[in-house]
Amino acid sequence: MALLQIAEPGQSAAPHQHRLAVGIDLGTTNSLVAAVRSGVADTLPNENAVHAIPSVVRYSEQLVQVGVDAEHFSAQDPLNTIVSVKRFMGRSLTDIQAKEQSLPYHFSASENGLPLFNTAGGQVNPIQVSAEILKPLVERAEKTLGGSLEGVVITVPAYFDDAQRQGTKDAAGLLGIKVLRLLNEPTAAAIAYGLDSGQEGIIAIYDLGGGTFDISILRLNKGVFEVMATGGDSALGGDDFDHVLAEYLQSAWHLSDLTAQEQRALLIESRRVKEALTDDTAVTASLVLTNGQTFECSVDKDKFDEIITPLVKKTMASCRRALRDAGIAADEVLETVMVGGSTRVPLVRDSVAKLFGRTPLTSIDPDRVVAIGAAIQADILVGNKPESDLLLLDVIPLSLGIETMGGLIEKVVSRNTTIPVARAQEFTTFKDGQTAMAFHVVQGERELVSDCRSLARFTLKGIPPMAAGAAHIRVTFQVDADGLLSVTAMEKSSGVQATIQVKPSFGLTDQEIGTMLKDSMANAKEDIERRMLAEQQVEAARVLESLSAALGKDSELLSQKEAALIEQGMAHLAQTAAQNDVSAIEKAIEALDEASQSFAAKRMDNSIRLAFKGQSVDNI
């Protein structure tokens, strides 16, 4: 399939077949699913014509409720009703408790320090909660589109670190859904606008959602979206406007010791007041306590602006930093795009207009623009638009480094480097005869390890004993297009090698993943086996399809002997895949991979040579 996408026009032989893929905006407050139908991308509504579902999940003893059903209970049953779970994704319990006050949940810590919500329905982690939110969206999409999905594009804040991205991908994995790409939310918004109106130039995307803030500076040119810089705050959003307003009301009313239920009611009222102040100049806030006592107070626009100014200012500082990182001045920005419901707050719009010196774009619903962009990208990635020129070149939002002596960090990949990226760094032993070396991978901008995010720890063993400083240990970081990291370490003189599948320090253990998979299925054992078989069969089909297309197109790159070996491997895989032995299929895929490795590399290099075809010979 992929080969069809890069084939020259007129060369692709396979008949066009429409594949089902959707874009999902897994938001802090609300989530949406969108698809391209008859060439038009739009969000998919439920049977009541409602597009968004609240990102709320309630775990009671009997059942799990999601969306509006769960939201009804958010004031009444706050302990078991999880809202804004995205804020907990990929973060440790200590981290969360240090940053967020007055959370109504009962937490435990997992083996790796992940937060676990203790609910009436049992212990759940943020990945499982996110999977529950994805489930009805996928069901809605399959029902509306009339078939099972080949893959999804899920959006994440550009500022999400490795652990947060991995967590999001794992949530889809729990449902057995293939993630075509994790797409940065601002980039998705740019796709939605860029393709519709054919923009070319520098675009700033200001995205203030419920729980996260992102600023991205993109360059759009001939179908290529290039991220020049990103910045933001993964713990600042419209929810914080609600919180500061709630704090203001609480102190204005001299209220202390609110129950969890009253606190939630106060937050809900604060949000209502905030939203009403978008159009009105003054709004009356009111709260009824459990004992029947009633409080009222008028909040005008000036007061509200004053309360939220420090938060808005923080976003402006991030914008200036992103502009500087991109190496451009504010007046070079051609358009600013507003994303996220919180950009409806007038002070936010005014501040953005002032900073960039132009009125921001708001013609696409700021709550739906991200999902719409994701749907467009999903449609292309799944192979429905082989003629599309769209290409996304994203950057890594936070620097990656390794801890060195004294708790300092040696940066290996710096922030805003275009991904995919591979970078190597050399280290050496500091003791005579040292045979092992421990590495600690961190992500963040600060110079001290204690101020950065711990991503993973691993040890390279089996280094031959040498004098201190004689060993050359090369550590290679590779970040893929989703922003996910893998690390390899090698001692150069001996060739001792360790490949580390980076398991986030605050990620899941294998056992936890196994348990979660079981929990997510009714008839655990057979279902898991059936699913593993199905997954391997799909991968086998993918390998066979792409190899036969490759042989059809590039067989001249092979010797007869090589071609015979590959064909033999293909025949074996086809035969094995028709049976039910999961590990035999895995082995057959591996063997074929091995046999076709150099062919695959040659083809890739051939397409590099062809990339300049059609350009003037003088230039080359």
Partner 1 sequence: MNYFELFSFLPEYDLDTALLAERYRDLQRAVHPDKFANASEQDKRIAVQRAAQVNDGYNTLKHPILRAEHILSLKGFDLSHESTTVKDTQFLMQQMEWRESLEDITDSDAPEEHIEQLHHSFSDYTAQIKSQMSKLIDSDSEQDLLNVADMIRKLKFMAKLQDELARAEDALF
| Residues recognised as catalytic | 25, 86, 185, 207
Whose Cβ is closer to partner 1: residue 128's or residue 596's?
A: 596
Listing DSSP states for 97-142 in one string gives HHH--S----EEE-TTS-EEEEETTEEE-HHHHHHHHHHHHHHHHH
* Contact residue for partner 1 among 389, 450, 495, 511 (CB under 8 A): 389
Among 22, 85, 180, 352, binds partner 1 (CB under 8 A): 180
Among positions 11, 148, 221, 459, the unique one binding partner 1 when judged by CB under 8 A: 221
Burial letters 331-345, b for 16+ CB under 10 A, else e: eebebbbbbbbbbbb
- Pick between residue 289 and residue 591 the one whose CB is nearest to partner 1: 591
Question: Given candidates 46, 435, 537, 546, which one binds partner 1 under the rule CB under 8 A?
Answer: 546
> Site for partner 1 (CB under 8 A): which residue of 410, 480, 526, 529?
480
Q: Which of 288, 422, 524, 578 binds partner 1 (CB under 8 A)?
A: 422
Q: Give the pairing type, strands 224-233 and 391-393.
A: parallel
Q: Is 381 in the site for partner 1 (CB under 8 A)?
A: yes
Asked if 417 interacts with partner 1 (CB under 8 A), we say yes
Q: Which is nearer to partner 1, 408 or 424 (CB)?
A: 424
CA separation for the pair 519, 479 (Å, rounded) = 31
User: How far apart are the C-alpha atoms of 436 and 406, rounded to whole Å?
Assistant: 19
382 binds partner 1 (CB under 8 A): yes
Q: Assess 391 for contact with partner 1 (CB under 8 A).
A: yes
**Strands of the sheet with 64-66, listed across from one edge:** 64-66, 56-59, 81-83
Q: For the CB of residue 398, give the shortest distance to partner 1 in the complex, in Å.
A: 17
Smallest gap from Cβ 424 to partner 1, in A, equals 11
Q: Distance between CA atoms of 350 and 360, rounded to whole angstroms?
A: 9
Phi, psi (degrees; rounded to nearest 5) at 68: -60, -40
Examine residue 565 and tell whether it contacts partner 1 (CB under 8 A).
no
Is the Cα torsion angle 8, 11, 13, 18 positive or negative in sign? Answer: positive
Contact flag: residue 103 with partner 1 (CB under 8 A): no
Element (H, E) at 602: helix 582-610
Q: Is 312 one of the binding residues for partner 1 (CB under 8 A)?
A: no
Q: Is residue 1 near partner 1 by the rule CB under 8 A?
A: yes
The correct pick among 2, 244, 328, 574 for binding partner 1 (CB under 8 A) is 2
**Nearer residue to partner 1 within complex by CB, 143 or 324:** 324
Using CA atoms, how far apart are residues 446 and 199, in angstroms rounded to an integer?
Answer: 36
As a whole number of angstroms, the distance between CA 144 and CA 35 comes to 10
Our finding on whether 548 is near partner 1 (CB under 8 A) is no
The position carrying tokens 């490949």 is 499
* 601 near partner 1 (CB under 8 A): yes
Peptide linkage before 420 cis (omega within 30 of 0): yes
From the list 56-64, 228-236, 247-255, 590-598, the region that binds partner 1 by CB under 8 A is 590-598
Closest approach, Cβ 16 to partner 1, in A, equals 14
Size of the site for partner 1 (CB under 8 A): 54
Residues in 137-166 that interact with partner 1 by CB under 8 A: 150-151
The residue (of 183 and 246) whose beta carbon lies closer to partner 1 is 183
What kind and span of H or E run contains 530?
helix 524-554
Residue type, 75: A
Is residue 534 close enough to count as binding partner 1 by CB under 8 A? no
H helices of 202-300, in order, are: 238-252, 260-276
Residue 194 Cβ, how far from partner 1 at the closest point, in Å?
A: 15
Taking the alpha carbons of 348, 353, 359, 364 in that order, is the dihedral positive or negative? negative
Determine which residue in the list 103, 145, 421, 528 makes contact with partner 1, applying CB under 8 A.
421
Question: Which residue is associated with the tokens 């020259």?
Answer: 8
Based on CB atoms, which residue is closest to partner 1, 201 or 465?
Answer: 201
Find the binder of partner 1 among 320, 431, 492, 531 (CB under 8 A): 320
Question: Using CB under 8 A, which residues numbered 6 to 65 contact partner 1?
Answer: 6
CA distance 480 to 67: 33
E-assigned strands of 157-223? Answer: 179-184, 201-208, 213-221
Sequence-ordered list of residues with C-beta below 8 angstroms from that of 424, at least 6 positions apart, any chain: 474, 475, 476, 477
Q: Are the CB atoms for 349 and 338 separated by under 8 Å?
A: yes
Provide the minimum distance between the beta carbon of 405 and partner 1 in the complex, in angstroms, as a whole number: 18
Residue 488 touching partner 1 (CB under 8 A): no
Enumerate the β-bridge partners of residue 547. Answer: none
Applying CB under 8 A, the residues found at the interface with partner 1 are 1-3, 5-6, 150-151, 180-181, 221-222, 224, 317, 320-321, 324, 381-383, 389, 391-393, 417-423, 426, 478, 480-481, 539, 542-543, 546-547, 593, 596-597, 600-601, 604-605, 607-608, 610-612, 615, 619-620
